[in-house]
Amino acid sequence: MSNMGARVSRMFRNFNLENRVIREISKEKPLVAPRHKTPVLPPVSSSDAAGDSEVIHGKNEPLVSLLKTVWVQSEDPLPAEPVPGPPAPLPVVERRPLKFSLPGPGHGLADITDVPKGRLSLVEALRALNSHKTQPATWTAQRVALEYCLAPADTAALLQFFIPFNVKILPPQRDGQKQIRGS
């Protein structure tokens, strides 16, 4: 029974096959596009090829003499002399202790106890953004800048362009809705 589909498709494929073949053969063939004329080059004799080899591999004396007159002079720049004395001290970056951090060990974070002034940890940034969002009258840009030792312009841009997500959990409504029950 599984060969039935193959038999039917073969029957349709072979139906009226001879007439279809004759029709395709008797059609006029499309004309071939004309070929572009190419210039016919005279045949190269082997004696000319040997003469060209000498020209290619031989020295051109006028060019060699011109090349001998070319002279390149290069001077390396003098190295900068090191200034005697103690090395320049590295700039000291003021640091401030963290205001907030994640409770408990782990969380994939290193044990950070302080950050440079003008910087925020991720937890502090989220807390500052959320505080400003929930209480904008209390947590203004100036207060956030003072609290976390930030530049006022950067703090204003931070509070304007970064907004934390709202997470809302909607309870299911079951008052007048019909539910599909399992059979």
pLDDT in tens, 150-166: 999 999 999 999 888 87
Helix H or strand E encompassing 114? strand 114-116
Q: What is the pLDDT along the chain (183 residues), one digit of tens a residue?
A: 557 778 888 887 888 888 888 988 999 888 888 888 888 877 766 655 556 777 788 888 999 999 899 888 888 888 877 767 787 788 888 888 887 776 666 555 567 788 898 899 888 898 999 999 999 999 999 999 999 999 999 999 999 998 888 777 776 766 666 666 665
pTM: 0.43
Determine the pLDDT at residue 34: 87
Length of the chain: 183
CA 101 to chain centre: 34
Are the beta carbons of 126 and 149 closer than 8 angstroms?
no
CA–CA distances in Å: residue 139 to residues 59, 84, 101, 157, 175: 85, 52, 19, 14, 41
Instruction: Show the tokens assigned to 99.
Output: 């205001």
Determine the pLDDT at residue 7: 82
3-state secondary structure of 96: strand
**Closest to 159 in 3D by CA, of 137, 139, 141:** 141
Determine the pLDDT at residue 109: 56
Q: Is 88 left (phi over 0), alpha (psi -120 to 50) or beta?
A: beta
In DSSP terms, 136 is beta-bridged to none
